[in-house]
Structure 1
Amino acid sequence: MRIKDAINMVLWKYKDNISEFKLIIYDRYVSIAEIPFEQIERVDNYYIYLKDGETVIPIHRVIEIKRGEYTIWRRKGR
C-alpha cells in the first residue's frame, strides 16, 4: 500500500476514531516527530497538508502510521 493510500484510509475509514492515530515522520530538526491525525487536512501524491494552513510535509518523510502503540503501516526498509 502506498503512503498516500494508507493515510487516506485512516482519514476516511477511521474518521470517528481519528484521535487514536499518529503519523511518524523524519524531521530535519528533531530527528523523529509525531503528528496526530487530527491535524491532517488532506494528502496528495507529494505532500501532507496540516489544518493550520501553513505546514506542508513532503510525503517521503513519513516513516510509519501508528494506532496507539501498534504500527499499522511502515515504510519498507526501516
Structure 2
Amino acid sequence: MRIRDLLNKILWAEKDRKSEYEITFLHRGAYMDRKKVKLDCVIRVGAGWFSYADQAGEEVQIPFHRIMEIRNVKTNQIVWSKGKRKTNVTI
C-alpha cells in the first residue's frame, strides 16, 4: 500500500484511533536525525507530502520520501517501513 493511501485510510477510516499512530521521518538536526509526529497532528495529505501542526501551531510540510516508518504506538507494531517499502498489517 502506498504511503498516501495508508495515511488517508488511518485518517478517515480509523479517525477514532488516529492518535494510536505516529510517523517517524528524517529531520536533520533532531536527535539521531529522526522526528516523530502523532497522526492526530496531521493537517493534510497531498500527492507526495503530508503536513502537520508543530508545537507553535505552524504548518510544516514533509515529503513522503523522508518518512522512515509509520507505527501503531498502542501495539508497537510497524505498519509501514521504508526499509521494507510495504505495509505489514491490514488496518
TM-score by length of 2: 0.76
CA separation in 1, counterparts of 2:14 and 2:72? 10
Match of 1:58 in 2: 63
Residue 77 (structure 1) shift: 5.0
Written as runs of structure 1 = structure 2, the 5 A alignment for 1:17-28 is: 17-28=17-28
One-letter amino acid matched to 2:69: E
The answer for the alignment partner of 2:2 in structure 1 is 2
Give 1:54 deviation, angstroms: 2.5
Q: Structure 1: 5+ residue runs without aligned partners? A: none
Q: Distance in 2 between matches of 1:66 and 1:77?
A: 13
- Percent identity reads 29
Corresponding residue of 2:38: 36
Q: How far 1:42 sits from its partner (Å)?
A: 1.3
Root mean square deviation, CA, Å: 1.7
User: What amino acid is aligned across from residue 14 of structure 1 in structure 2?
Assistant: E
Count how many residue pairs are aligned between Structure 1 and Structure 2: 78
Q: 1:29 Cα shift?
A: 1.4
CA distance in 2, matches of 1:59, 1:39: 16
Deviations 1:27-77 (A, max 9, x none): 111111110001001111122111434211111111111001110111245
Larger Rg: 2
